Chains A and B, each alone.
Chain A
């Protein structure tokens, strides 16, 4: 299997980092518990979530980190390295609400290059990365610092 490799030389400030979309349904929420090993009930028990003041269970920090991990590592490839990451869980991405019939959020992961530079011999890219849904817009604004290989 050949994987595409992005090189620092070819990156332009303002360019988009290829994203993807995930539907937040109950199957996804089960995978979230399996993958993140976060069994806190606010993420899978509607009654518990509502008692705490939330309309519905929502995806957890580990899941969001996994989504950003996929976004960044898909782009930097095998030769790149995620150097820094900062994530803000400002708004939530909800599972379907069976009482109201409200569907689960469709979450899109996106990114854009904001800066590129060389420091101490390494080739850096700074990027804004975020999750958004149709209901709230940007839910999880985040920033990352990535190291990319150079051609030749």
Chain B
């Protein structure tokens, strides 16, 4: 018999506190991913796009947009890396994801050529109802991102949830 969401939560909460070692990003901070990142929002800031312009600023090099920093640390965002250390998977009743709250603290600018690493930790797991699923699983994770000198450049905390489809909720008798 399949486990109930409450039984799955008991197992999932054993993962609170699990953390990774610092994992270096696959590649250094690079020009072209920054260009594509800016292109999606029509951001034409030359500090992010023009090496000659950036050379004349106090930064001396193209800067990574602040909210893109995590993309260059650890496994990256897609496709999921299977060959780098990662947090253990949280087993949940549903498989549909929604991201909710993101918090960043930035301590140093990140520039092209930097090598970033990330250490991740599961901070909390709990059940909280949403419109689509009365027993959605919420997970809070924390990340500390460092550069090649060991300096902390950013700290993040993210809250996301995983929910069931309406059909799955109905089939489980939770509608």
Chain A interface residues (CB < 8 Å from chain B): 1, 3, 20, 22, 28, 31-32, 34-40, 42, 51-53, 60-63, 65-70, 72-74, 78-79, 81-89
- Considering the complex of A and B, which 4 residue pairs feature the smallest CB-CB distances, nearest first? A35-B40, A65-B67, A70-B43, A31-B40
Q: A87–B102 contact, CB under 8 A? A: yes
Expressed in whole angstroms, the Cα–Cα distance for A82 and B132 within the complex equals 35
Chain B interface residues (CB < 8 Å from chain A): 33, 36-43, 45-48, 50, 53, 57-59, 65-68, 71, 76-79, 96-106, 109, 131-132, 163, 165-167
Q: B77–A35 contact, CB under 8 A? A: no
Shortest Cβ distance from A76 into B: residue: B66
Cross-chain contact of A73 among B66, B71, B98, B132 (Cβ < 8 A): B66
Q: A53–B165 contact, CB under 8 A? A: yes
Q: Chain B interface secondary structure, helix, strand, loop or mixed?
A: mixed
Q: B68–A65 contact, CB under 8 A? A: yes
Shortest Cβ distance from B71 into A: residue: A37
Expressed in whole angstroms, the Cα–Cα distance for A37 and B33 within the complex equals 9
Given A34-B36, A34-B40, A35-B40, residue A65 in contact with residue B102 (CB < 8 A): yes
Q: B46–A69 contact, CB under 8 A? A: no
Given A32-B40, A40-B97, A73-B66, residue A81 in contact with residue B109 (CB < 8 A): yes
Q: B41–A78 contact, CB under 8 A? A: no
Shortest Cβ distance from A68 into B: residue: B67
Shortest Cβ distance from A63 into B: residue: B40
Q: Nearest-CB distance from B70 to chain A (Å)?
A: 9
Q: Nearest-CB distance from B103 to chain A (Å)?
A: 5
Q: B71–A86 contact, CB under 8 A? A: no
Shortest Cβ distance from A67 into B: residue: B41
Given A83-B106, A84-B105, residue A35 in contact with residue B41 (CB < 8 A): yes
Given A37-B71, A66-B65, residue A82 in contact with residue B106 (CB < 8 A): yes
Q: Nearest-CB distance from A136 to chain B (Å)?
A: 14
Of the listed residues B59, B66, B132, the one surrounded by the most CB atoms of chain A closer than 10 A to its CB is B66
Shortest Cβ distance from B167 into A: residue: A51
Q: B45–A86 contact, CB under 8 A? A: no
